[in-house]
Copies of this chain bind each other. A is one copy, B any other.
Amino acid sequence: MSRTPEEEANLRLVLAMFEHMLNPMDSAAVDRFIAPDYIQHNQLAEPGREGLKKFLDMIRAETPHAVHDVKRAFVEGDHVTVHYHVRRWPGDNGWAVIDIFRIENGLVSEHWDVMQDVVPGGPNPNSPF
C-alpha cells in the first residue's frame, strides 16, 4: 500500500466528516465537508447539499442515539470507500452500509451508498462485518 499525500488527505477528510457530521448527525457541519454542487445518489435523501442537511436533521430527530461504527475504509485517487454499521438505538441489529465518496477540491462532491438490514440467524454464521 502506498498512498499519495492527496489520497491521505482524501481519506482524512472523509473520516473527519464521519466524526464531525455523520456521527453527530449535525447539519451545521455540512458546509465544512460537502461541496456546494454535491451530487447525492442516496435513494432516500433529497438531492444536493441542502437535501443532506434536511436528511441529517430528520435522522437526528428520529434516532438521536444512532451510532455509525466504521469497520474499514479505503482510498484510491479521489474515491473513498467506507464500510460501517449503523445502529439506531442500543440493541438494534442495525444496517450494514457501504458508502463511496468522490472528493474534489478538498470537499465531498459526490456520494453513492448501499444499505442492508442486518438479520441474525441466516445460513452464514460469519458477521456481515
> Is A34 located at the chain interface by the 8 A CB criterion?
no
Nearest CB in chain B to that of A74: its residue? B76
Q: For A17, list chain B residues within 8 Å (CB).
A: none
Decide: A100 and B98 in contact? CB cutoff 8 A: yes
A105 interfacial by beta-carbon distance below 8 Å: no
Count of chain A residues near B, Cβ 8 A = 41
Are A115 and B116 in contact (CB-based, < 8 A)?
A: yes
A81 / chain B contacts, CB cutoff of 8 Å:
74, 81, 98, 100
Whether, in the assembled complex, A88 has its beta carbon less than 8 Å from a beta carbon of chain B, the answer is: no
Closest Cβ of chain B to A11, distance in Å, is 9
Q: Interface on A for B, CB 8 Å cutoff?
A: 1-4, 39-47, 51, 72, 74-77, 79, 81, 83, 96-98, 100, 112-116, 118-119, 122-129
Can you list 7 contacts pairing A with B, beta carbon distance less than 8 Å? A1-B76, A42-B124, A42-B128, A74-B74, A74-B76, A81-B81, A83-B100
